[in-house]
Amino acid sequence: MNLFLKNSKALPSAKNALGLWWAQRWTGVFLILLTFFLVSRLFSGLGPNGLSAWVSRPLNSLALIFFLLFGFYYAWLGLQVLIEEHVHNTLFKYVSLLLVKGFCFLGAGIGITSLLILLVKSSAVLV
Amino acid sequence: MQLKFKRKPQLSEVLSFLYGITGLILMGGLFLFSLYLYHLAHPDAFAYLPRVFASRLGKLLLLGFTVAFWYHFAAGIRYLCRDLGMGLSEKASATSGVFVLFFTQTMTFLSICAVWASR
């Protein structure tokens, strides 16, 4: 277990601490803007064909892709900091860091591939 | 014998705890949103999701996400201000902390009104 403790740089957020700190702030700010943008679009432009039609509009799907990317990246960074601060059992800490990373990649992957599939489906209808 | 000190929880630590919890809740919401997009792309998968969100429990869940969002939003801006060196004094911290809670309550109420009006 001491193998991990010897080098504090082993913690993910110690490698590029300032960069990750800034990334957390910027993605946070962009997430606020994207959320307001998407919710306002949802309120004004939800047509009779429902959510799948709304999602496949180019501007919406582009915003949604950025929303998912930033959202899961922000969640990953935030949870990483939370775990490093509060989880003191080394094994549990590294396992949970790995699980969080996997969860975020899975979530972003599912969402973005689904959005791309919906885009291809809607453009196939147009052609 | 183990000594236990009982003390009143301070506002700042409660707010910090809530910030983490609401972050986790919003992360779960984002994952649920991803699953919903998967359902839209493949209608057979997770076919129960629209029914879940139409139900009373689903609406309560959405209300929870709304509260979590407004809290995380307000508290996040409070922490951003701190990063910039604003509002660090004890008095300013207490004032902004109470304001965050008040803001969450108000914006949640306004959000409910907005959804109600748009139906």
Domain covering A17-126 assigned CATH 2.60.120.260 in the classification: no
Q: Chain A: nearest CA to B95, how far in angstroms?
A: 23
> Is the C-alpha dihedral spanning B83, B89, B92, B93 positive or negative?
positive
CB of A119 closer than 8 Å to CB of A56:
yes
Q: Residue B7: what pLDDT?
A: 81
Neighbours of B23 (CB within 10 A): 20
Structural domains for chain B: 11-118 (1.20.1300.10)
Confidence label for B44 from pLDDT (cuts 50, 70 and 90): very high
The two three-digit tokens of residue B73, written as one number: 């939003």
Q: Which residues neighbour A100 within 8 Å (Cβ) at sequence distance 6 or greater?
A: A76, A79, A80, A83
Asked if B31's CB is within 8 angstroms of A103's CB, the reply is yes
Nearest CA in chain A to B39: A114
Predicted structure pTM score: 0.89
CB A114 to CB B40 under 8 A?
yes
pLDDT tens, residue by residue, A24-83: 999 999 999 999 999 999 988 787 778 888 998 889 999 999 999 999 999 999 999 999
Cβ atoms of B38 and B45 closer than 8 Å = yes
Contact with chain A for residue B33, Cβ under 8 A: yes
pLDDT higher than 90, residue B111: yes
ipTM exceeds 0.85, yes or no: yes
- Cβ-based contacts of A75 with chain B (< 8 Å): 23, 26-27, 30
Tell me which chain B residues have a C-beta less than 8 angstroms from the C-beta of A113. Answer: 41
Q: What confidence score (pLDDT) does residue A47 get?
A: 72
Q: What percent of chain A has pLDDT over 90?
A: 65
pLDDT score recorded for residue B37: 95
Strands (E), chain A: none
B114: Cα within 13 Å, side-chain hemisphere: 13
For chain A, say whether B41 makes contact (Cβ under 8 Å).
yes
Average pLDDT over residues B38-57: 93
